[in-house]
Structure 1
Amino acid sequence: MAEHFHLNTPLLESVSMSKRVGATVYLKMENSQPSGSFKIRGIGHLCQQLATQSKGVVCSSGGNAGMAAAYVARKMGVPATIIVPSSSPQLVVQRLQDEAATVKIVGKVWDDANAEALRLAETEGLTYVPPFDHPLLWQGHATMITEVAASLGPGVKPGAVLVSVGGGGLLCGVIQGLKDTGWSDVPIIAMETVGADCLNAAVKAGKVVTLDDITSEAKCLGAKTVCAKAFEYSQRSEFTIISEIVTDQEALQAVETFLDEERVLVEMACGAALAAVYTGLIRRLQKEGRLPSLLGPLLVIVCGGSSVDMKQLATLKHKLQT
């Protein structure tokens, strides 16, 4: 059996982004994973631990977790059932079917799809693959930070890490990775879009809250409640987690600028993190004294995304033109 399903992805220096920030910007290119996003790290790890003897896996996902689960299951020779909410683009459904998964469309948002996945795991004896809330996932995601440390070499550490937050799985994995590499003091800028801002809402309220609805077009950030572990990390003094939000328009603009400058197409969920550079948010945080004015290398996790193509991009532009 394969040692693991994910690739050691490239760490690229972005000259144009570095110019904007006034510090070296490194891009961890998780978009180049076989399933299109970072999710394969954690989901591959979890399936190797829990699903080798399984009669099948079931995963609830509007996109990337489903793609990762379907890919890993196909490689393991295990059937996969992926439950997606009706908000998922047709393109995602097609790609999941191409990975030989059975796709069921249930409910309007991820939370509805997840309830059905849990029911199927119970009634049909399938292995439930959670999209973001499980320690094995975070362990798998943490490998991206160990790779970064190996690429940067001894004595170099990031000045800050930039991540997008949906349910909080990537954030938990990054923190786990920072702990593993002795980088716990590196600040993390956790980015969300308005209308999918479950971490930001929790940080403001001082407790985990559930959003009424997901109104953002960044559907892959669309969990109404952040995982408890991510919120707990945000409250702990040994970590610096700066929670910020951008508009859908800013996230989309970031996707387009990234496509122009870096020749890579990512989805809006990933655009949320990129927008921190393109909107000048990093500079603002420096002005406010929340980030050092002399910033070490900025590490951007380009989390990727399988639910975007040129047609989808055009649709989003049309929707978001104000």
Structure 2
Amino acid sequence: MISTSDVERAAARIHGRVRRTPVLFDDGVWFKLEHLQHTGSFKARGAFNRIIAAGALSAAGVVAASGGNAGLAVAYAAREFGVAARVFVPATAPAVKVAKLHALGAAVELVGEKYADAYDAAVKHAADSGALFCHAYDQPEICAGQGTIGLELLEQVDGLDTILVAVGGGGLLAGIAAAVEGRARVIGVEPRTIPTLHSALDAGEPVQVAVSGLAADSLGASRLGDIAFAVATRTGAGSVLVDDAAIAEARATLWDRYRLAVEAGGATAYAALLSGAYVPAPGERVAVLLCGANTDPATLTSPSGAPPAARTPR
């Protein structure tokens, strides 16, 4: 469980280490441009907070399990502190992200075919080596670091009522909901094909869900984190679901209208507004979090989110 004070302490720790990302106001909506954060996603905030809060580290440094944004964030933060980073990824991880991990100086271990295989290996490495384990979304320090976005939004948008946030494992939602508790409401938006929050709220506890769809590479947790569930139920966070077609449309619209290049997960929150899955009340002041930019630019204007068909050379 985390609280507003945990997020405030995280903000003090990571001040000067992360970017205070800007907001863009248009068509009655504030967009929080967190996709401009270091390594292209919000996760740098949690990684820095986790490492700083831990204090002195062993020679083994830090370890994470992720072939995506969380791994990149941990590798980046470790490089900034000059400590070793080891990232376990499934063999199915995109080659471009593995290359980025290497470029950031991380030792990369390919293990198994699924995230769960990489996760188990990372936990074992931490136990055997003494390395600091950085969870992708279900650790108090990680969640509190992500929540610093909420504090910034309260300063940037006067009278903010609602924040729309994409949900995978829920670390982002947990942190922001704790940060703005009593001052604004958080609505979790997730693909209909990966309803971790929606299913947890229905069941009264986190449950396993199948993972598929356009945003599975970044929102593909198979179970909502325990911290996210506790904070969501305490704060009354809401949940809406969107289809892959709405996510693809949101990505294309953000590019066509604003020249903002975001990944499918980063466009998911905006998809709730465009599709009508979330309809603001008259006068409601809404912010949409654009949380990630690690995407292939060739897919930005494709309705399916896949690369457009090759054209015949002329």
- TM-score, normalised to structure 2, is 0.86
The count of residues paired between Structure 1 and Structure 2 equals 294
5+ residue gaps, structure 2, are 1-12, 310-314
In structure 1, how many angstroms separate the alpha carbons of the residues matched to 2:261 and 2:117?
Answer: 29
Q: Secondary structure at the match of 1:132?
A: coil
Q: Does 1:261 align with 2:263?
A: no
What is the aligned counterpart of 1:310 among 287, 297, 314? 297
- TM-score, normalised to structure 1, is 0.84
In structure 2, how many angstroms separate the alpha carbons of the residues matched to 1:81 and 1:88?
Answer: 15
Q: Secondary structure at the match of 1:226?
A: coil
CA-CA distance at 1:29 after TM superposition: 0.9
- Assess if the C-alpha contact under 8 Å between 1:52 and 1:76 holds in 2: no
Q: Secondary structure at the match of 1:162?
A: strand
Residue 168 of structure 1 corresponds to 170
Q: Secondary structure at the match of 1:216?
A: coil
CA-CA distance at 1:268 after TM superposition: 0.9
Q: Secondary structure at the match of 1:173?
A: helix
Residue 212 of structure 2 corresponds to 215
In structure 1, how many angstroms separate the alpha carbons of the residues matched to 2:17 and 2:220?
Answer: 25
Question: Could you give the per-residue CA deviations for residues 77-117 of structure 1, whole angstroms, max 9, x where no partner exists?
Answer: 01111112234322111111111111222233322221111
Residue 99 of structure 2 corresponds to 94
What is the aligned counterpart of 1:251 among 240, 247, 254? 247
The 10-residue stretch of structure 1 (224-233 or 31-40) with the greater mean CA deviation from structure 2: 224-233
Q: Does 1:140 align with 2:137?
A: no
Alpha-carbon distance change, 243 to 86 in structure 1, aligned in 2, over 3 angstroms: farther
What is the aligned counterpart of 1:124 among 125, 129, 132? 129
Residue 10 of structure 2 corresponds to none
Alpha-carbon distance change, 51 to 196 in structure 1, aligned in 2, over 3 angstroms: farther
What is the aligned counterpart of 2:71 among 54, 61, 66? 66
- Assess if the C-alpha contact under 8 Å between 2:165 and 2:189 holds in 1: yes
Q: Secondary structure at the match of 1:190?
A: strand
What is the aligned counterpart of 2:29 among 7, 25, 32? 25
CA-CA distance at 1:208 after TM superposition: 1.4
- Assess if the C-alpha contact under 8 Å between 1:162 and 1:189 holds in 2: yes
Opposite residue 230 of structure 2, the aligned amino acid is: E
- Assess if the C-alpha contact under 8 Å between 1:255 and 1:271 holds in 2: yes
Opposite residue 5 of structure 1, the aligned amino acid is: R
- Assess if the C-alpha contact under 8 Å between 1:210 and 1:224 holds in 2: yes
CA-CA distance at 1:233 after TM superposition: 2.8
What is the aligned counterpart of 2:49 among 45, 51, 68? 45
